[in-house]
Amino acid sequence: MSGEDVITVRGLFKDRVSNFLRKRIRVLDNLDLTVRRGETYGLLGPNGAGKTTTIKILLGLLRPDRGEINLLGAKPGDHTILKKIGFLPENPYFYSHLTANEFLDFASQLFGLDRAKSKEHNLELLKRVGLAEEWADRPMHQYSKGMLQRLGIAQSLVNDPEILFLDEPMSGLDPIGRKDVREILSTLKEEGKTIFFNSHLLPDVNEVCDRIGIMHHGRLVAEESIANISRGESYKALEDFFLAKVEEKKEGGDKDD
Amino acid sequence: MTELQATLAIALNTFRESVRDRVLYAFFIFACLITMLGIVLGSLSIGQEIRIIEDLGLSVIAIIGGIITVFTGTTLVYKELDKRTIYVIFSKPVTSWQFILGKYLGLAACIILVTAAMGLFLVALIWMVDPLHQIQLHLPWLGGALGLVLLELLFVLAIATFFSTFSTPIMSVIFTLSIWFIGHLGSSLLELSNMSQNQMAKMILSGIYWILPDLAGLTRIRLELTYMQPPSQEILSYLVSYIVAYVVLLLGAAAVVNERREFP
């Protein structure tokens, strides 16, 4: 790991305005975090902690109210930076009318990649995520959730990204699907990709991540390396750490209030 | 080149989505069946069979084409948001105008295809009813009339695209249909304005007349074409350039609106 910071977030704030009564709800509250090149960083937190919002702001899909972000030396949404980024959204639906081949071609064209070259690359990607050849030309409405998730990972890799953002990549997958995704992530890690992912599934995080951040009510309440938490043992230590930090924050939060 | 590539990729995706939708075929079959009613209506007239089939056919193409345009156009952006496929697009180096233009071009291609298919069906029907009818002499005029129908549909599509960037599909349908309808009132608006005693009403009515393209004028020229009468080039080029400018303006506004939005 080279240690160069590729994602830096400082003092990030984001409010959401509720549809009813137009009440402002704080989603991100002075968030700070740093991710280094080649690192697999897991962002954990209970539902509504602000994990998905953080990813969306980093990608330029949402605008922060305040704060500074540095992504590969530029601001989120910068097109030269987006060319170096891959993204798998949470519960991907994609285009049910397209086949896997057509969808990957579509994703490649959005990056402006050479069609002939990307065609070969896309076939390799399909193999890599374990989508059998006979499925490549079938429309996506025939796919299972696990297959869509694999295809989602494949589309996030069409541009051979430097940083990969994965929002709940294991959600809804059966144990075999989760194992497959873990293996794909491990290979990507070996290739030196920086992986930033949100997850609830602590066993997977324990196995794949180098470092984790725990979010609660829009703040980063803890950041630690997996090696220091579980020391290569079961995910139980991570679970205890996670629960302790969230509980600690809850108690601290009560005092703050 | 890269910018065009992304626009064309979005256009191709939108085109595929539209032509793979079975509802489109249901509309097409429905349009063909109504056009065939022209044979029955034509047989009730004396020596005007072809005229009636032609008029009915063109009206059906305009109306069914319009319905397809309104209902697909108004969900153009909404569907991407609803199915969360918008994240796939805007997490990549795609600008708002590439997205809007791509969506518009994709659906426009589908509408051109459907209009051409309905037009071909109409020509085939005329030929079947009266093989002696000199259809080849009539084809350029019919083609011109179809072109004007298409121009109107592309205008309606631009309105639908604009509203779909910030409004729900139901509201977009209401807004688009209202503008389409008002556009067809044409010079009646000006007459109403002249008749009105209220100064405010006068201003509003004449304002709408001058702001919206005169779709009634377009329909008039279309009718003239079916009678093989060459339209006034001056009026035709004025209407065409007005509508094209309108389409460009609406798409530009849609891109600006889309640029400002967030994708929660």
Q: What is the domain range of residue B153?
A: 2-260
Burial class (CB in 10 A: 0-12, 13-18, 19+), B23: exposed
Side chain identity at residue B215, one-letter code = L
Cα-based distances in Å from B131 to B127, B136, B259:
5, 11, 55
Nearest to B87 among A61, A63, A79 (CB): A61
pLDDT at B1 (0 to 100): 60
Taking the CA atoms of B246, B248, B254 and B259 in sequence, report the sign of the dihedral they define: negative
Side chain identity at residue A86, one-letter code = G
Kindly give the confidence (pLDDT) of every residue in chain A, 257 residues in length, as a single tens digit, with 9 standing for 90 and above.
Answer: 557 999 999 999 999 887 777 788 888 999 999 999 999 999 998 888 899 999 999 999 999 999 999 999 999 989 999 999 999 998 777 888 999 999 999 999 999 999 888 999 999 999 888 887 788 899 999 988 888 888 999 999 999 999 999 998 887 788 888 888 888 888 899 988 999 999 888 888 888 899 999 999 899 988 988 888 876 666 677 788 788 888 777 666 544 43
Q: Which residues of chain A lie closer than 8 angstroms to B264, CB-CB?
A: 16, 53, 56, 62
- The token duo for A211 is 């470092």
Minimal C-alpha gap between A71 and chain B (Å)? 14
Q: Tens digit of pLDDT for each residue in B144-199?
A: 999 999 999 999 999 999 999 999 999 999 999 999 998 888 778 888 888 888 88
CB atoms within 10 A of CB B62: 24
B25 part of contact set with chain A, CB < 8 Å: no
pLDDT at A255 (0 to 100): 44
Burial class (CB in 10 A: 0-12, 13-18, 19+), A64: buried
Residues 6+ apart with CB under 8 A from B215: B152, B155, B180, B183, B184, B186
- The token duo for B248 is 């460009």
Q: Which residues of chain B lie closer than 8 angstroms to A62, CB-CB?
A: 262-264
Helical (H) or strand (E) element with A211: strand A211-216
C-alpha span between A110 and A105 (Å, rounded): 9
Tell me what percent of the residues of chain B surpass a pLDDT of 90.
45
Number of domains observed in the structure of chain B: 1
Contact B12 A106 (CB under 8 A): yes
Contact A79 B6 (CB under 8 A): no
Residue ranges of B 77-106 with Cβ closer than 8 A to chain A: 83-85, 87-95
